[in-house]
């Protein structure tokens, strides 16, 4: 099967078709050793395509994107009261993707987007025990006993949380790193509230092993096929018989 060059460049980089046309006209695309200026050129499966000298590849059929969500954007497709949404950060042609779960308006960090509904459902379902890592600045340090209490699980809405990994990240400030596997509403804030603490700043540092790396708040990138495969390999770990329900 062949693909038009501008479609190939747009899909491989996440840029729009028009932006792909521009970089092709600017002579920044090579097929093999040859600079190609014609957006309609057919790319064969065996062709190797370069953008500014770096190889680019078509992403997997489904699109996955990682945003380092900035604070004060809400995780929804549309907000009735006109507040800024995470969708506004994405270019138009990627606004068909949906966010995988939610982060609170004031939370920053790793937010995945996709059009792969089945995998997104698994990422969010508690039975898959997908790890989410957070870094939280709270108002006052925790005592040893409070840390132990959180590790064993605290009651939120009458239901005990699954065991939580927590460690003090910085000696000088009350900053804690947590690993959770459930994904309940306002979970981190309510865990700290259960021991009388307030979260002053919250960042999700990883979701199912995917981290933001060098992305600054408000920046995004497509996931690599390596990241998608590694995420999916974590999701097939539990089969129906040994899932927690």
Q: Confirm or reject binding of residue 6 to ligand URA (CB under 6 A).
A: no
Q: Which is nearer to ligand URA, 11 or 189 (CB)?
A: 189
First to last CA, the chain: 43
One of 11, 189, 197, 207 touching ligand URA (CB under 6 A): 189
Q: Which is nearer to ligand URA, 15 or 103 (CB)?
A: 103
Contact set for ligand URA, span 8-67 (CB under 6 A): none
One of 17, 125, 186, 234 touching ligand URA (CB under 6 A): 186
Q: Which is nearer to ligand URA, 91 or 209 (CB)?
A: 209
* Catalytic residue list contains 104: yes
Q: Confirm or reject binding of residue 187 to ligand URA (CB under 6 A).
A: yes
Q: Confirm or reject binding of residue 202 to ligand URA (CB under 6 A).
A: yes
Q: Which is nearer to ligand URA, 28 or 186 (CB)?
A: 186
Catalytic residue among 22, 79, 104, 106: 104
- Provide the binding-site residues for ligand URA, judged by CB under 6 A: 103-104, 107, 186-189, 202
Q: Which residues are catalytic, by number?
A: 104
């Amino acid at each position: 099967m062949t693909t038009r060059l501008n479609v190939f460049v747009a899909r491989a980089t996440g840029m729009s078709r028009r932006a792909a046309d521009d970089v092709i006209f600017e002579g920044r695309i090579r097929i093999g050793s040859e600079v190609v200026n014609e957006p309609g050129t057919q790319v064969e499966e065996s062709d190797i395509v370069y953008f500014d000298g770096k190889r680019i590849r078509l992403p997997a059929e489904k699109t996955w994107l990682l945003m380092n969500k900035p604070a004060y954007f809400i995780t929804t497709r549309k907000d009735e009261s006109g507040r800024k949404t995470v969708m506004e950060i994405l270019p138009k042609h990627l606004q068909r993707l949906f966010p995988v779960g939610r982060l609170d308006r004031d939370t920053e960090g790793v937010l995945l987007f996709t059009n792969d509904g089945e995998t997104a459902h698994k990422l969010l379902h508690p039975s898959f025990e997908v790890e989410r890592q957070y870094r939280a600045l709270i108002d006052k340090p925790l005592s040893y006993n409070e840390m132990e209490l959180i590790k064993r699980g605290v009651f939120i809405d009458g239901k005990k949380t699954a065991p939580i990994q927590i460690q003090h990240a910085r000696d000088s400030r009350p900053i804690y790193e947590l690993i959770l596997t459930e994904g309940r509403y306002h979970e981190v804030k309510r865990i700290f509230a259960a021991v009388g603490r307030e979260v002053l700043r919250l960042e999700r540092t990883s979701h199912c092993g995917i981290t933001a790396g060098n992305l600054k708040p408000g920046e995004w990138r497509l996931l690599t096929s390596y990241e998608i495969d590694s995420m999916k390999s974590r999701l097939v770990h539990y089969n129906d018989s040994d899932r927690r329900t």
